[in-house]
């Protein structure tokens, strides 16, 4: 009945547009672009007391769309932050202690190839620690699309030796609100166990796939604790679920102006969503 009502209200061309995944991605990107630019002019919040953890994905893998920041822009973000007096610290330091207002950290979700090939050399040159959250089935080479796009275990080991923190980002990157309790437990436990087997330690940090507040039901928080995770990395400061660690997502649109606004807190209520 509701479907028929929707059909009457929304014209067929618009319905086709909404159903086409490519068009939806384009519309989402346009919307995201507008939101980033609009919020950059938003009034800033009061004085900050804690550190900030940035969340990137790929650095120069354009197929990752809005989540891909070019190497030149990534380097520029680091230069801007250093010039503004920020100090880079490991993400776990801010996660555990809160850090100081000028503390900044870098994390990467999805465990993608360009973290090793593009980001790590830039970070090494500046002596900056960082964290990588791997999707275990992608790093296990079980997903054909990610074969050449995600880091394998040998490559993650190189990053570990480089001083990176490695955590889990689940087995298959599901939306935790769309899976049952047992599958959620499996995603949490099996990814941790695979990292233990492949890299020799069981991670205590987990980054929520998609990372939005709506992607993390309360029951999952309990399951994650039982699985052995102590730190759960999420998204925006003001909207993150209770007990999670806030991160500020960085997008490909983040020019100097937007990045400065980001450091000043303009996106602390903003969540990337599709
Ligand atoms: Zn992810």
| Spacing, Cα 181 to ligand 1 middle (Å) | 20
CB 248 within 8 A of CB 54: yes
- Residue 251 is predicted with a pLDDT of 93
Burial of 273 (0-12, 13-18, 19+ CB in 10 A): middle
How many angstroms separate the alpha carbon of residue 85 from the centre of ligand 1? 30
The pLDDT assigned to 21 comes to: 74
The Cα 68–Cα 74 span in angstroms is: 10
Whole-number pLDDT of residue 236? 83
pTM here is 0.90
pLDDT for residue 237:
83
What parts of the chain have a pLDDT lower than 70?
A: 1-11, 13-18, 43-45, 274
User: Residue ranges per domain, the chain?
Assistant: 1-39, 49-263
Condensed to tens digits (0 to 9), the pLDDT of residues 12-62 reads: 766 666 677 778 778 888 888 888 888 888 766 678 889 999 999 999 999
CB 82, CB 29: distance < 8 Å: no
Partners of residue 150 on adjacent β-strands: 112
Q: What spacing in Å lies between the alpha carbon of 46 and ligand 1's midpoint?
A: 30
Quickly name the fold that domain 49-263 has. TIM Barrel (3.20.20)
- Residue 4 C-alpha to ligand 1 middle, in angstroms? 35
What is the predicted pLDDT for the residue at 160?
96
Give the Å distance between the CA of 76 and the centre of ligand 1.
23
pLDDT of residue 24: 78
- Centre of ligand 1 to C-alpha 3, Å, is 32
109: CA distance to ligand 1 center in Å? 5
Ligand 1 centre distance from Cα of residue 33 (Å)? 19
- pLDDT value of position 43: 64
């Amino acid at each position: 009945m509701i479907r028929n009502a929707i059909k009457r209200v929304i014209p067929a061309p618009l319905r086709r547009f909404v159903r086409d995944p490519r068009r939806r991605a384009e519309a989402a990107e346009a919307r995201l672009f507008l939101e980033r630019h609009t919020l950059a002019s938003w009034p800033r919040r009061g004085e900050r007391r804690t550190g900030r953890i940035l969340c990137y994905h790929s650095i120069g893998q354009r197929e990752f769309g809005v989540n891909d920041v070019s190497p030149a822009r990534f380097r520029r973000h680091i230069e801007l932050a250093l010039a503004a007096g920020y100090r880079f610290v490991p993400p776990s330091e801010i996660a555990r202690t809160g850090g100081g207002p000028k503390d900044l950290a870098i994390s990467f979700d999805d465990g993608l190839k360009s973290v090793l090939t593009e980001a790590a050399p830039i970070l090494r040159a500046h002596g900056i620690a960082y964290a990588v959250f791997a999707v275990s089935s992608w790093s296990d080479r079980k997903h054909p699309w990610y074969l050449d796009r995600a880091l394998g275990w040998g490559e993650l080991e190189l990053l570990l030796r480089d001083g990176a923190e490695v955590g889990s980002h689940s087995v298959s990157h599901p939306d935790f609100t769309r899976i049952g309790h047992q599958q959620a437990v499996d995603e949490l436990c099996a990814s941790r166990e695979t990292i233990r087997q492949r890299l020799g330690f069981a991670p205590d940090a987990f980054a929520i796939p998609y990372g939005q507040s709506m992607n993390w039901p309360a029951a999952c928080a309990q399951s994650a604790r039982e699985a052995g995770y102590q730190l759960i990395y999420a998204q925006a400061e003001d909207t993150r679920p209770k007990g999670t660690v806030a991160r500020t997502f960085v997008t490909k649109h983040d020019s100097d102006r937007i990045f400065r606004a980001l450091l000043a807190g303009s996106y602390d209520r903003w969540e990337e969503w599709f």
